[in-house]
Amino acid sequence: MANVLEDVGRSTIDHLDYVGSVNIQWWATLRAMRSALPFVGNRYRWRASVRQMLQIGVDALPMVSLMAICTGFILAMQGASELRRFGAIHYVIDLVAAGFTRELGPLLTAIAVSGRSGSAFAAEIGTMKVTEELDSLRVMALEPIEFILAPKYLAALITVPCLSILSNVCGISAGGLFMFFSTHLSPALYLRDVLESIQLRDVITGLIKSVAFATIIAQVSCLEGFRVRGGPDSVGRSTTSAVVTSTFLVIVADAVFTAIFYFTVKH
């Protein structure tokens, strides 16, 4: 019994330490963000932010678009197969439009970014830690959080919501393609019904989630890189841990935000 309590206590302390480390790093990043901003910050940091935007956002466009198109088509198909029995196939439009703007668009984007960019963040910083490049930066009076993390975080904050909007457009368009082939609904009528189904609250909800997901992915992935200990094999472990942890926390955060918005709207 004592061993069980000891293991539970040790695990609890480790998790609390991890949460505290993420929060401390996040506040340090916010303080260092000014250097990565255009016009008011360091121009080299801003250029680094632009390069990160290209890597996080532009390079992920094909993957995010394809995921959203496939998911939108599947969602419309599965919804139609059930709603057709009740003669309510027109509700497929509401299902696809609300489902993507509230949930699927931001969530699919976050999972894609976590797998692509989150792993890259952890591997890059972990390699710098193993090769002692981070120590070299500190010797040159350059803070690693300001030099490395701030541009990545700023880029994620800008590109993840943009990718979420793209995911919404692709997913809803895929639903319209299914409706055209299954019910011969014209694109103009489908677009009109989509605009009637989507509410501004749904769009704002998705964007808020996107910002939160971007924060989780950037902070967790970079923290895993900074916590690398040992040789090159530890870089692989930190990369795996970054993807698994950030994806898990994204899903948990999505559930928390959904519950908050649900009860707020309900009451």
Reported as a single tens digit per residue, the pLDDT across 8-20 is 777 788 778 878 8
Domain containing 29 equals 2-34+41-266
Question: Over 60: is that where the pLDDT of 2 sits?
Answer: no
Reported confidence tier of residue 159, pLDDT bands at 50, 70, 90:
very high
pLDDT tens figures, 54-84: 888 888 899 999 999 999 998 888 888 777 7
The tokens describing 82, both together, are 């059930």
Reported confidence tier of residue 247, pLDDT bands at 50, 70, 90:
very high
Question: Over 70: is that where the pLDDT of 266 sits?
Answer: no
Number of domains in the chain: 1
205 in Cβ contact with 213 (< 8 Å) = no
